[in-house]
Structure formats: C-alpha cells, structure tokens
Amino acid sequence: MPTEPRDVSVREDKPSGTIEVDRILTDPESSSETTAKNGLQDHLEVNLTPEEIQAEKKFRLKIDFIILPIIATIYFLAALDRSDVGNAAVAGMDKDLNMTSAQLSYCIAFFYIGFMAFQVPGAILVRVLTPPIQLGCAAALWGAATTIMTEAQNWQTIAGLRVVVGAFEAFIQGAPLYLTFWYKPHELATRGAIFLSMTSIAGSANGLIAYAIQTTMDGRHGRPAWRWIFLIEGIVSVGFGIIVLFILPNTPERVKRGFTAEEKAIALRRSKEAYNVPHTRLHLRQFGAAIRDPKTWFYSAMNGCSAMSQAAWSQFLPVIIKMNGYTANEAQIMAIPVFAVAGVTAICVAYLSDRFRRRGMFLTGCALVTATGWILLIVNGPRQLSYAGTFLIGMGSTPMTILELAWLNNNIIGFTKKASAVAIMNMTGHVCAIAVSFSFRDAPLYFTGKGLGLASSGIAAILAPTMVMFLARQNAKKLRDKDTPEAAVLRAKSVEEIYDGHPDFMYSF
C-alpha cells in the first residue's frame, strides 16, 4: 500500500535561492510525475511538523557547538601564523636579520604564493580527502613550518617558509564548503562570520601574545622575543591539527559517530535542501562552467577589492599605528581593540544579512565605511583621527569577505562548480593582497598603500549594486522563459548536471 508523501512547497518570495512551485504535492502519482520532470525536486524545502521544527533547531544548535568551535579554532590559528611576521618584525626580527622594508614586504607577500597555488586542490579535494583529514593535517603541517622559522638566520629562510605555510593554509579553504554540507543557504553568513572573523580576533590576540612574549620572554634561553613568537604559535597549531583528525565530524552522508539515526536523517535532509548531492564526485566540466560563469568573476572582482583593504589593514596595522609616534609595545596593545571591534562587527553584519536575506546592500555599506577609514588615514591629521580610521577600515573590510563568500555559496550550485568558483575568487583576492603588500614601501607615511586601499573599497562600492542588478535581470529572464519548451527540458536535469542554470533556481541578492 503506497504511503502518503510529505508535503513539499517552495516559496518564490525567499531570496535565498529557493524556488516557487505552483502547487503542493499531495498524492503519490503527482509526486512521482513532478520528481521525474523537475531535477530540483529533491532539494525543495519540506514542510515540517512543529515537533520536527524543534528537532531541527536542537540539531542546528548541536552542530553549532560541535563544528563551529573546531573550524573557528582552525581559522584562529591560521590567522595567528599568517600574521605573526608583522608582530615578529615589531619585536625586532627585522633588525636581527638586517631586513629592509622591501625584504619584509617579500616575507609577507610570499605567503600568498603558496596560498594561491593550492587554492583549487584546497577547495575541491575536501570531499575526497574528507574534512577531518584535510583540515587536521593542514593545521599540523603549517604549524610545523612556522615552528621551523624560529631557527631562521636570514630573511630568505623566513620568505621560503612563508610559502610553505601559505600552501598548507590553502587547504582550510575547504572549510566554507564543508559548512554548506551542514547548513542551509540563509544560515551561512552568520556561521561563516564566526570563523572568518577569527582573522580579526587573532590579530587582536596576536598583538596581546606578542606583547606578553616581548615583556616576559625576550632573551630567555638566548632567544629574542620574535623567535619565541614563531615557536609558541607553531607548536599550538601542530597540536590542535592532530586533535582535529579525531573530533571533526565527516560529511553528513559519511558521519559515523556523535549523531543519532534521527540526527543523521535531519543532516541529510538539510544538506539536500542546500543543493548538495550525497557522495557526488568531481566533475571536470563543472570547472569549465565556473570559469565561463560571469558570476564567478563578479565575486572575484569584489573579493579582490576587499582583500586589498583587508590585507593592508591586517598585515600592516601595528606598523601603521607605530608610525603615528607610538612605541612598539604601545602599537601592539593599541591594535588589540581594533581587531576585536572588527570581529564583533563582522558577526553582527553577517547576522543581519542572514536575517534579511540580503547580501548586496550590506556589501555596499561595508565598502563605503572602509573607504571612509582610508580617507582618514590619507589625510594624516591628528593621530587620534588616524587611529579612528583603522577602526573603520576593520569594521568595513572584515565583513566584506564573509558576505562575498556566503553570496557565492548561495548562488552557485553543483559541488565542483562551487568549489572551483570559491578557489578562483580566493586566488583573485590573494593576487590583490600580494599587490598591496608591495605597496607599503614608502615609509613612513605609506601613501601608495593607503591610496590602493581607498581605490579598492570605492570600486567594491560600485561592483556590489551592479551585481544585484545583474542577478535581478537573470531571475526576471528565468521567470519570463519558465514555460518554454527549452525550460521544460532543462527542468528535468539535476543540479549536478545544470547547476544554478536550472530554470526554477532563483538567485539571491
């Protein structure tokens, strides 16, 4: 005897990529017919009972407390090891190794060479290697490379090891994709903000750690403070990476421990509603689709702009503060609240973006705030005004990368296509980060770097609303063509065959 199917409905008024179906499926014959004709059918949101809604809320809270702290810690440690060169320089590394300003820029920029080179494998291999192995091994290996820096005797050794650190840190770029296996599209920005804002929080902590090391450990066992910075932060990353191998849950279809059968069923349903196909394989044609998709390049251009401001601000913040007449120790301490406020702001902005299910307008606002901060630095007025500018840059630029990543994940589907688009976007961002690293060479005012920060944030303020208009037109075209014979043929294809080009998939903006 056939069982009564679950009611399924999808709502067009939701800008999260969910679509409208004109009717609710209520009988087996209708369900079978529609499933055969609509490849998006398996990904439609299910109407849950009140009890099921409560069960899903409990499940979401559970993964919030299991997955997010692990990913956040990984990003926190990655950000520590990524930015410790700036703190080490303030602690005396540049003097001990006879570094010029240009050589310090090389040491900072060379990180991005390794980081860029491994963006694509770092994104697309997360299903192949599995998240625990990929993320855990990456943390342990970049931590080992950071630890070795403590024995460096010249700037070339630091620069070479920075390439290695960047290569292994590239593999944590699979983490945002990993979240899309567990969370729905309108839940991503807030969760992404929690771990991506670790970059800012780590900057705050790094300044505090560097200050503590400078004041308590400088000269111990014959080691200057900057060597202790590399040693301590590197060892912590190695240890936590090993722990991740055993505690991070696998993908919903592969997870074996820590969840009940009911929770596994909830996880699989939620994963499908986020347009994931369990056990999907890599498809080379989707890589080509990502390259041909103009959305990939829109997001990449926006990310490049935000990365320029973010990299200039995070890498050179202690130096920028110090140039206003503060001592090295004062600069380390004064950087702490700047990073902390940026991290908190990022989480708040991401929450509002998820709450209102809008990305473009929040990105535009963040870009304008960032531009205002750079203007305050360029004016070079009272040092209190310049210090205020560093707050505005952090508050504006830190949420931008988070929103761009969430926006891309909302609007590009098909695992390999999405992973490839994320990799391309990240590579573009890091090319721009390298460029801005070399621009901070005209000490002590650094007008070139500040000018690039202002220009990039201004361009981002134009690109975001342009993207909104582009996506709105794409949605209008899909609605206009939804009853054509061509749309009927495309409608039968799965998301792994036709991706976000499915006639019933609506873009969010």
Sign, Cα dihedral of 305, 306, 311, 313: positive
Q: Mean pLDDT lowest for which of 1-10, 82-91, 413-422?
A: 1-10
DSSP calls for 167-188: HHHGGGGHHHHHHHHHS-GGGH
Maximum Cα interatomic distance, the chain, rounded to a whole number of Å: 82
Is the pLDDT at 27 greater than 60? The verdict is no
Q: What is the 3-state secondary structure (H, E, C) of 104-134?
A: HHHHHHHHHHHHHHCHHHHHHCHHHHCHHHH
Is the pLDDT at 370 greater than 90? The verdict is yes
Give the angle 355-357-362 at the CA atoms, nearest 5°. 90
pLDDT at 37: 63
pLDDT at 158: 94
Taking only the tens place, the pLDDT of each residue in 485-498 is: 988 888 888 888 88
- Give me the mean pLDDT over the 208-237 stretch: 88
List the structure tokens of 394: 């952090």
Q: Residue count of the chain, please give it.
A: 509
What is the C-alpha separation between 395 and 40, in angstroms, rounded? Answer: 38
- Give me the mean pLDDT over the 319-345 stretch: 83
- Give me the mean pLDDT over the 318-325 stretch: 79
Other Cβ atoms less than 10 A from the Cβ of 45: the count is 18
For 125-284, strand residue ranges (E) read none
List the structure tokens of 393: 């840059």
**Helix 50-90 vs helix 101-117: angle between axes, to the nearest 10 degrees?**
150
Cα separations (Å) of 237 from 80, 131, 144, 219, 436? 9, 17, 8, 24, 27
Residue 25: which pLDDT band, with cuts at 50, 70 and 90?
Answer: very low
- Give me the mean pLDDT over the 240-253 stretch: 96
Average pLDDT, the chain: 86
Which has the higher per-residue pLDDT, 237 or 504? 237
Residue 442: which pLDDT band, with cuts at 50, 70 and 90?
Answer: confident
pLDDT at 203: 67
Query: Contact, 397 vs 313, CB < 8 A?
Result: yes
Give the range with max mean pLDDT: 2-11, 69-78, 109-118, 315-324.
Answer: 69-78
Fold classification of 50-487 is Growth Hormone; Chain: A; (1.20.1250)
Is the pLDDT at 432 greater than 80? The verdict is yes
Cα–Cα nearest to 378, from 314, 308, 320, 435: 320
Is the pLDDT at 31 greater than 50? The verdict is no
- Give me the mean pLDDT over the 392-396 stretch: 95
- Give me the mean pLDDT over the 230-251 stretch: 96
Is the pLDDT at 11 greater than 50? The verdict is no
Is the pLDDT at 433 greater than 90? The verdict is no
Cα–Cα nearest to 310, from 207, 396, 193: 396
Q: Mean pLDDT lowest for which of 79-93, 245-259, 385-399, 463-477?
A: 79-93
- Give me the mean pLDDT over the 192-210 stretch: 79
Model pTM?
A: 0.81
